Structures are given as structure tokens and as C-alpha cells.
Amino acid sequence: MINGIFIVALFLLSTLAQVSFVQAFQAPLALFPLHFLIGVTVLQRVGNIEGALWFLASALILNLVGFSDGTWLAYFLAGATGLVLTRKAFTSHSVYGLAGLALSMYIIFFFINSLANFDETISEISLNFLFGVVELIIGIYFAFIIANYIENFSKNILITRRNKKAL
């Protein structure tokens, strides 16, 4: 129950931060996939069902707020790809598993978004992809550190509560 409430709060905060804060920056920083990165981390660390729901809800919510025309399809297909890859290929909870999963999903995500936006040239698309991958790799490193910290912190709280009950 607490886990679900935390994931919903994290979803709403990351959606708000992506749409209102990150998109307000200039071109290279506006491409930082914050909401996408947190969704990949949830998919890998928390579970398949929660991660799949994250990307399905992202597709619906971002379409409702008018974020982009093709984004709902990109989030949906990236989430489906991530669900399959999490079960079959990237089962390890290491930083390499997170990086492989995030890059695989981002390639699908970016390719579908590029097909939906016909007004950009090939040089703009490749430059946006390069900036997005670099920012994603930097974000993966910090997301992995933060996810490990939260996981260890929550385990320590649960162990402390169990020991107090035993006394």
C-alpha cells in the first residue's frame, strides 16, 4: 500500500517536473528524459507490473495534457519493450542492466517520436538523439545511486521496526 502511494506520488511529481520545469530550458537541457528515466528505474527496481503501468499511465496522462502528438505511442511501445526486456534480457539489478534497459527503451522511444514529428531535419534528429543519450547515461548513474540509497534506507527501517517488536 505504502509502495503504491509512493509510486503514484513519484509519477505525479516527475510528470509535473518534466512538463513544467525541464521543458522550460533551452535545447540540450530540455531533452533530458527525467520522467522516462524514473519510469525505467521503477520498471527495473520495483517490478514489472508497476513499471508497465508507469508507461501506460504516462502515455495517457501526457496525451491528455497535450504534451505531444506522438508521445503516447512512444511511451506505450517503450513500456511494452521494457516489460519484455526486463523479463528476458535485463534481469540483473546492476547499473549495467539499468543502462542496457534504458538505452534499449530510449532507442524505441526516440525512433517513434521521430516518426511522429516530420518537421525536423535528419541533423536535428541525430543531434537531439545524441544529447538525449548523453543526458540519459548521466541520469542512469544518479538514478542507480538514489535507488540503492532508498532501497537500503527502507530495508534498515523495516529491520529496525522488526527488532523493536521482538524486544
Q: How many CA atoms lie within 13 A of 41 on its CB side?
A: 25
The dihedrals phi and psi of 65, each to the nearest 5 degrees, come to -85, 0
Digit-coded pLDDT (tens) for 98-156: 888 888 888 888 888 777 766 667 777 777 888 888 888 888 888 888 888 887 887 77
| pLDDT for position 69 | 57
138 torsion bin: left (phi>0), alpha (psi -120 to 50), beta (else): alpha
| pLDDT for position 121 | 72
Assess whether pLDDT exceeds 80 at residue 93: no
| pLDDT for position 165 | 54
**101 close to 47: Cβ distance less than 8 angstroms:** no
Alpha helices (runs of H) in 17-121, residue ranges in sequence order? 27-30, 34-45, 48-64, 71-88, 95-116
d(CA 47, CA 116): 30
Digit-coded pLDDT (tens) for 47-81: 788 888 888 888 888 777 776 656 778 888 888 88
- Residue given cell 503504491 in the structure block: 4
| pLDDT for position 41 | 87
What is the average pLDDT across 72-92? Answer: 84
Assess whether pLDDT exceeds 70 at residue 32: yes
What is the average pLDDT across 6-21? Answer: 83
| pLDDT for position 129 | 82
Q: Angle formed by the axes of helices 122-166 and 95-116, to 10°?
A: 140
Percent of the chain as helix, strand, coil, to the nearest 5? 85, 0, 15
| pLDDT for position 50 | 84
